[in-house]
Amino acid sequence: MSERDYNRQTAKRQRISKTTLIVGVDVGKAFNAVGFMNKDGNVLGSCSKLYNNREGFEQFVKMIEGLKARHRLRDVLIGMEPTGHYWRKLAYFAKEHGYEVRFVRTTALKHHRELDESSSAKSDQRDALTIANITREGKYIDTVIEDGTLRQLRTLSKARERLLRYSVSAKNSLHAALDDYFPELHEIFWSMGSRSLWVILDQCPFPEDVVSMKVSTLQELIARSSRKRAGSARKARALYEAAQKSIGVKQIGSADRYRLRMCLEEVKRTVLTLKDMDRQLKCMVKDIPSASYLMSIPGIGHLSAAVFLGELGDPAHFHNARQIVKYAGYDPQESDSGSWVGRKFISKKGRWLLRKYLFFMSMRVVVLSKYFQEYYHRKLETKNRVGQQPRKKEILCAVAIKLIKVIFALLRDKRSFEDIASAAVVRA
């Protein structure tokens, strides 16, 4: 840990006063375990089962208010481990009641448990007290619960990412079905999201269906659904010839037709829903003034800006760019011992979706932005800390860190990016 990290942790610890009630929550699906401490680490109480329902949440507030009155405490700091999606209900309920909610890392809980108990043995109640102790020492994450448009952006971005994975799976299933019945289609329609392919699979999905139709009819189907009408005649002839020579399965039954139709419907549904999600994200980004500063950088569009702002939250919660680097998991980790100097690797302990899109953004800005392109080539000519030529992926990670610093400056100063080869100038 650097000197700056120690100072920040000390500042967090000093924020906790003698009148602060520290609450540790071990989150579960059906119920949560809760532990209560004061600033000195004295256990004020605990509850092994706090159910995730209205009665349980009201009991939670009643316990907090009772301990505050009994021990003359004024403010409340709640620390919890963000397990799956189960933490959201309790966290937002606590926020509505004016309690400050912070999160601790799973790895920190595991290591702290072994330090406190000299054992890896665990229980929900023990973990709740350990979380309270970690929070008391200021070792919680800086993440703040967001609400409003930024939370909507994050929710929609995550839903889009899940659907994107499902869409890839649906396309793979359709690809596998076509490998069985009509493998030659891959040479004519390279994308499973092609509208022309969808029309052909709707009207004549198997070679025997294509052969039974006229070439002119096939051409009309392709031309009607394609933007490039000029190539429809060539594709229609190629499709007809491929159907005549197809090596696909010949004996086609009702189950085969049902399988192909089901795969096609799933591809259509996911692709069209993704496009609708992109339109929704674009509309939401327009309502956020800071998004225009991001999109002033060449290579950053509406989707990248939406994911970045949704995952980041309010930029005002970050005091410097280094905090965002760490939040995204791009902070370099050293691995040195004695005279041996190892390579640096990024920690990957931050928000994975933010890290993923920052990498994509880096690949685009080194092509479209003169400033980042110059930075990329300058890194290519230098050697890393072990005296070797850095890998291209390492350089792109360095570009991502540089991009975070530029974005932080733009958001802080509320200015746009001006692309100059030797320097990035911001203007109002």
Rounded Cα gap, residues 306 and 74, in angstroms: 38
Contacts made by residues 118-126, CB under 8 angstroms, sequence distance 24+: 124/26, 124/28, 124/32, 124/33, 124/48, 125/26, 125/33, 125/35, 125/46, 125/48
Confidence of residue 428 (pLDDT cuts 50, 70, 90): very low
Backbone angles phi, psi at 120, to 5 degrees: -90, 5
Region of 56 please: left (phi>0), alpha (psi -120 to 50) or beta.
Answer: alpha
Distance CA 423, CA 411 (A): 18
- Alpha-carbon distance values, 131 to 11, 21, 33, 103 (Å): 19, 13, 11, 9
* C-alpha dihedral sign at 386, 356, 413, 365: positive
Average pLDDT over residues 170-193: 94
Is residue 350 within 8 A of residue 327, CB to CB? The reply is: yes
CATH 3.30.450.20 is the classification of domain 3-145 = no
Tokens describing residue 260: 């192909």
Q: According to the model, what pLDDT value does residue 372 have? A: 95
Which tens digit of pLDDT belongs to each residue from 63-75? 999 999 999 999 9
Per domain, the residue ranges of the chain are 3-145, 153-281, 291-427
Residue scoring higher pLDDT (424 or 110): 110
pLDDT in tens, 398-426: 999 999 999 999 999 999 998 876 555 55
Q: Which two tokens stand for residue 345?
A: 């690797």
- The whole-angstrom distance between residue 356's C-alpha and the CA centroid of its chain comes to 7
Helices and strands, number each (H, E), in the chain: 18, 9
The structure tokens listed for 321 are 């760019």
Yes or no: say if 399 and 372 are a contact pair by the CB < 8 Å rule. Answer: yes
Helix, coil or strand: residue 37: strand
Per residue in 6-60, pLDDT tens?
Answer: 667 677 777 788 999 999 999 999 999 999 999 998 999 999 899 999 999 999 9
- CATH number assigned to the domain covering 153-281: 1.10.287
Give the tens place of pLDDT for each residue, 315-353: 888 889 998 998 999 988 776 666 666 677 888 888 899
